[in-house]
Amino acid sequence: MCVAHPGLAFSRRELGLCLCSTQTFCHVKQRSSVKSVGLSQLSATGPPCLCPRPAGTCLADASVGVRREDLPEVAATQPVHSCPPRKSKAKPNGKKPAAEEKKMYLEPEYTKSRITDFEFKELVVLPREIDLNEWLASNTTTFFHHVNLQYSTISEFCTGEACQTMAVCNTQYYWHDERGKKVKCTAPQYVDFVMSSVQKLVTDEDVFPTKYGREFPSSFESLVKKICKYLFHVLAHIYSSHFKETLALELHGHLNTLYVHFILFAREFNLLDPKETAVMDDLTEVLCSSGGRGGGSGDGAGSGGMGAQNHVKER
């Protein structure tokens, strides 16, 4: 039995030249009488095959080559062919395509976890006889405290070494200082900038007035949108980089509930640009779809259909 042609059985007398690289001599099955040729006569200059099978169906080791001039009798009776090369899985630039990382937070067993079954779409609607700005201020302040608390549960894992950039999936965020200069920073630095700046705003009586008779500034809505954008970045980073830790702490139900409430509130009052939240559209669709608890599909943040791009974006 030839190891190069396991499906063919023949007697010793029928043996000719074969490409079994494990043998002392290289033999290939020939019905006619052909001399045996030693391995020293083989050439590695090319992959021609001497097996009697049709071209492209050779099972022999293609790395061993035999020149026609070394085997004149075989060359006269049998066609020499090359087995087609295997297709490479590498990209044209020589790099193998990166395997898409599985998103654990999209697993059904985790997405259905909540700490309450309340319909949040009803909860975010502006109550009658309540001023819009008062409603925005009250909820924005609450979301700030809850996001800050949620992040604090995994803050020891979010270090400058583990999270060298403020990344969410394939998007990288930069902080912009008071002069508008873009600053590259680690994730914990970015979150610290967010919490410090938001804390400063929500405690400023000129921006978030708490005393009777004080008016909200004309730029209040734009400031609320800015705060919501930053809070979204923090929530998205927790999902993208620290969901395993959140899961280990059994706080994924709290995180999902907070995310649904926050996204539906932002949708209700158009506080988030769909392009900004597109990076988490897959999660938003699962958690906030009409088929699940926590609200309907609606329009606005997370339903822009932009989808995550295949390259790193900067914001």
Q: Give the end of a domain, one of 84, 113, 129.
A: 84
Give the per-residue pLDDT at 121.
87
Residue 293 · residue 121 · CB < 8 Å: no
| Alpha-carbon distances of 258 from 8, 67, 230, 239, 274, rounded to whole Å | 67, 72, 15, 12, 19
CATH code (residue 222): 1.20.140.30
CA distance 144 to 178: 21
- Are 210 and 299 in a shared domain? yes
Cα four-point dihedral sign 268, 270, 272, 276:
positive
Instruction: Tell me: is residue 158 an annotated ligand-binding position.
Output: yes
Domain membership of residue 99 (yes or no) is no
DSSP string, the chain: --SS-TT----GGG--B---TTSSEEBB--SS----EEGGG-B-S--EE--SSPTT---S-TT-B--GGG-HHHHHHS--EEPPPPPP-S-TTSPPPPPPPP-GGGSHHHHT--S----HHHHSSPPTT--HHHHHHHHHHHHHHHHHHHHHTTTTT--TTT-SSEEETTEEE-EE-TT--EE---HHHHHHHHHHHHHHHHT-TTTS--STTPPPPTTHHHHHHHHHHHHHHHHHHHHHHHHHHHHHTT-HHHHHHHHHHHHHHHHHTT-S-HHHHGGGHHHHHHHHSTTSTT----SSTT-S-----SS-EE-
Domain membership of residue 9 (yes or no) is yes
CA distance 185 to 233: 14
Domain membership of residue 53 (yes or no) is yes
- Are 152 and 63 in a shared domain? no
| Residue in the block written with tokens 């095959």 | 49
Collect the ranges in the chain with pLDDT lower than 50: 1-53, 57-83, 85, 88-99, 290-292, 294-312
Q: Please give the single-letter amino acid code of residue 220.
A: F
Q: How many domains does the chain have?
A: 2
Domain membership of residue 91 (yes or no) is no
CA distance 236 to 285: 14
- Are 194 and 300 in a shared domain? yes
Give the per-residue pLDDT at 120.
86
pTM reported for the whole predicted model: 0.62
- Are 294 and 169 in a shared domain? yes
Q: Give the end of a domain, one of 52, 84, 116.
A: 84
Domain membership of residue 135 (yes or no) is yes
- Are 229 and 112 in a shared domain? yes
**Cβ partners under 8 Å of residue 241, min gap 6:** 158, 162, 163, 167, 168, 187
Q: Which domain holds residue 176?
A: 104-314
- Are 119 and 199 in a shared domain? yes
- Are 194 and 309 in a shared domain? yes
Domain membership of residue 93 (yes or no) is no
Domain membership of residue 94 (yes or no) is no
- Are 11 and 118 in a shared domain? no
- Are 290 and 174 in a shared domain? yes
Domain membership of residue 251 (yes or no) is yes
Instruction: Tell me: is residue 26 an annotated ligand-binding position.
Output: no
Q: How many residues does the chain have?
A: 315
Q: Are strands 175-176 and 313-314 parallel, antiparallel or unpaired?
A: unpaired
| Residue in the block written with tokens 């001039």 | 69
- Are 131 and 210 in a shared domain? yes
Instruction: Tell me: is residue 254 an annotated ligand-binding position.
Output: no
- Are 3 and 144 in a shared domain? no
- Are 135 and 263 in a shared domain? yes
